[in-house]
Chain A
Amino acid sequence: MTDMEQLIEPVIPGLRRYANALVRDPAEADDLVQDCLERAVARWGQRRADNDTRSWLYAILHNLAVNRWRKLSRRGVMAPIDTVDPRSLSVAPAQEHGLDRADVLRALDSLPDEYRSVILLVTVEGLPYAEAARVLGVPLGTVMSRLSRGRARLAAALAEGAPVKSHLRRVK
């Protein structure tokens, strides 16, 4: 196994999780991850250092996702969340803490993209603040303020019973 494989492979499950959380269409998410890995392989020599591999990979993935949103929103290919394949949304309720998994994902989807990505990177992917800042290309202070506002908005959305409002989701 090469160095490259050794450093990239452990990150792939997290990249898939992040991609799925952002685009919420399993096929499209895997396309994004594949695109990300292709670029990573092609530019292996351009990354800054080995200990940066994780944030470097997440940054490539994040930029690809943002790029795809821009492209899709410009072409107007958007669909309401209700048309998304229900299988991609059906997750069992997690009763032990009273928050339904589908509810929490729907509430997350109701947030603006910049809050969603910070919450996901910090809370779900477990990136330190400084790494999240590198991934998003913003200063540390911006990560902190987005995290604070994002968590508050997510809590508010959940408290309202995660209203299934007409938030538009991007699907392919």
Chain B
Amino acid sequence: MTADRPIGEDELHAFLDGALEEGRHAAVRRYLDAHPEEQARLAAYRRQGEALREALAPFADQALPAELSLKTLAERRRKALAGRHRFAAAVAILCIGGLSGWFGRAAVAPPARGIDALGREAVDNYTVYASDTLRPVELASDQRATLTRWVSERLDAPVQAPDLQGAGYGFLGGRLVTTPNGPAALFVYDGTFGDRLTVMVRPMEIDRNSPMSERSYGMLDGVTWSKNGLGFSVVAPRASTDLLPVAEDVRRQASFS
């Protein structure tokens, strides 16, 4: 029965790669015997594969340098993590200073609404939630759909968590957070060394279309912009990553949603 099926292009490649379904070999061979031009094509593919394997083989055979030893890498990570704990403590102290300054300001002036305020709000929410080891998010990554519905409804705009896997940040989840300018969506991501990155989104009353700008807030860096009335802010610890490409990635994904 299977022998009667016509031979597909995929099967020719599977034949070449040793991945052909049992029982199809005879049929493929018959086909190739009857079609010399196809046989020649596969032979050329086989030759190019062999040439590639030969040309690249030396790279797999060379001795491993110390930087690629797993033992060294694992050891370095342990040290780096110990450093991170001290760093987190420093961020926490800094934020107490920052927050008291913020509230002091609120007492004498109405809350700022624009793009600068957005950046500040994102940093405040980062320090409260991203550093939370027990429950950084309300809805975890496996409830992405529920999260999207929830924040989109509350912000009255289609808002969903960008996928930052390509930049090396795994999606942890998100929640609705409060700002002096109403609700915002906060998405939390996990980086290589357990470093966190957040993306905060809220509607903008003013500065509805602002270009991307990068600012540092103590030991945190933030990239902020707005488009069509939605403000975005990406926050991560200083120098843990090059933040601009990640922000570009967020902006690109947001323009598709």
Contact = CB atoms under 8 A, between A and B. Distances in A.
Interface of A: 4-5, 8-9, 12-14, 16-17, 20-21, 26, 29-30, 33-34, 37-39, 41-43, 46, 63-64, 66-67, 70-71, 74, 91, 94, 97-102, 104-105, 107-108, 119-120, 122-124, 128-129, 144, 147-148, 151, 154-155, 158
A67 to B, nearest CB: 6
Contacts of B19: 128-129
Contact of B52 (A30, A71, A124): A124
Contact of B67 (A26, A30, A46, A91): A30
Contacts of B17: 122-123, 129
B52 A5 contact: no
A81 B66 CA distance: 29
B91 to A, nearest CB: 19
A142 B58 CA distance: 30
Interface string B1-42: 000000001100110010100000000000000000000010
Given A41-B70, A91-B58, A64 B168 contact: yes
Q: State the majority secondary structure of interface residues on A.
A: helix
Interface in B177-216: 192-194
Contacts of A17: 56-57, 59-60
Given A13-B61, A99-B48, A124 B53 contact: yes
A105 B68 CA distance: 25
B71 interface: yes
Contact of B170 (A43, A97, A123): A43
B42 to A, nearest CB: 9
B168 A38 contact: no
29 contacts: A12-B68, A12-B70, A13-B60, A13-B61, A14-B60, A17-B56, A30-B65, A34-B68, A37-B73, A38-B76, A41-B70, A43-B170, A46-B170, A67-B245, A70-B245, A71-B242, A74-B245, A94-B55, A98-B47, A99-B48, A105-B55, A107-B48, A120-B52, A124-B52, A124-B53, A128-B19, A144-B10, A151-B45, A155-B45
B253 interface: no
A38 B77 contact: yes
**10 A-B pairs with the lowest CB-CB distances in the bound complex, closest first:** A101-B55, A99-B51, A13-B60, A104-B51, A20-B59, A17-B60, A123-B49, A17-B59, A144-B10, A39-B192
B70 A21 contact: no
A41 B48 contact: no
B172 to A, nearest CB: 11
B192 A37 contact: no
B52 A63 contact: no
Interface of B: 9-10, 13-14, 17, 19, 41, 44-45, 47-62, 64-65, 67-68, 70-71, 73-74, 76-77, 165-168, 170, 192-194, 242, 245, 248
A43 to B, nearest CB: 7
Contacts of A33: 68
B54 A94 contact: yes
Contacts of B65: 30
Contacts of B67: 30, 34
Contact of A147 (B13, B47, B57, B167): B13
A21 B56 contact: yes
Nearest to A26: B59
Given A39-B168, A99-B47, A119-B52, 5 more contacts: A43-B170, A97-B47, A122-B17, A151-B45, A154-B48
A99 B58 CA distance: 17
B75 to A, nearest CB: 10
Nearest to A14: B60
